[in-house]
Amino acid sequence: MSALLPHPFLSAGLTLMWLVLNAPPSPGNIVLALLIGLTVPAVMRALRPTPVRVRRPGLAVRLLFTVLTDMLRSNIDVAKIILGLHRGERRTGFVSIPLDMTSSFGLSVLSIILTATPGTLWVQYDSHSGRLLMHLLDAADGEDWVRRVKDRYERPLIEIFA
């Protein structure tokens, strides 16, 4: 059975997502959803992804709430900029952040956090120097962003995926 379903949760998730996105379900969509749910995990097995080891799940939950709070604040800040309510000078720009994290899972999560947060964008990561290039909608205080990324996101991610 594991040869047919190497990743059963992925199979179930893909099948259900296909059916939800293509509602109402028809016989053809159900067959296609099952086909996708069985084929994609087989391809994933060929890639042999390494298993994720979360060392501190409680810290991961706290990081989730930190990220959600920061996203809410960023949404408000970006809305103020767009509506012209932002006081002071605004300049877009790039910030280079030296990262200590080397875990591919941690870097992936950090890239998702930064790109999903309004007003920020993960642009480039140089694995040789460990430097992240990030674009900011309001880069008035770039050093504040360096501290924010390192303290609020990188440090917990290092502990979670160490």
Selection from 45, 37, 3, 44 nearest residue 20 by Cα = 37
Alpha-carbon distance 4 to 72, whole Å? 42
pLDDT at site 140: 72
Residue type for 17, please?
A: M
Beta strands in 62-158 (DSSP E): 93-98, 120-126, 131-136
pLDDT at site 17: 93
Beta strands in 10-149 (DSSP E): 93-98, 120-126, 131-136
Task: List the chain pLDDT tens, one digit each, 162 residues.
Answer: 467 777 788 889 999 999 999 989 899 999 999 999 989 888 877 777 677 888 999 999 999 999 999 999 999 988 988 888 877 777 788 999 999 999 989 999 999 999 999 999 999 999 999 999 999 988 777 788 899 999 999 999 999 987
pLDDT at site 146: 92
pLDDT at site 56: 92
User: Are 160 and 59 in contact, with CB atoms under 8 Å apart?
Assistant: yes
Q: What angle do CA 71, 74, 78 make, to 5 degrees?
A: 140
Domain range summary for the chain, segments of one domain joined by +: 8-47, 57-161
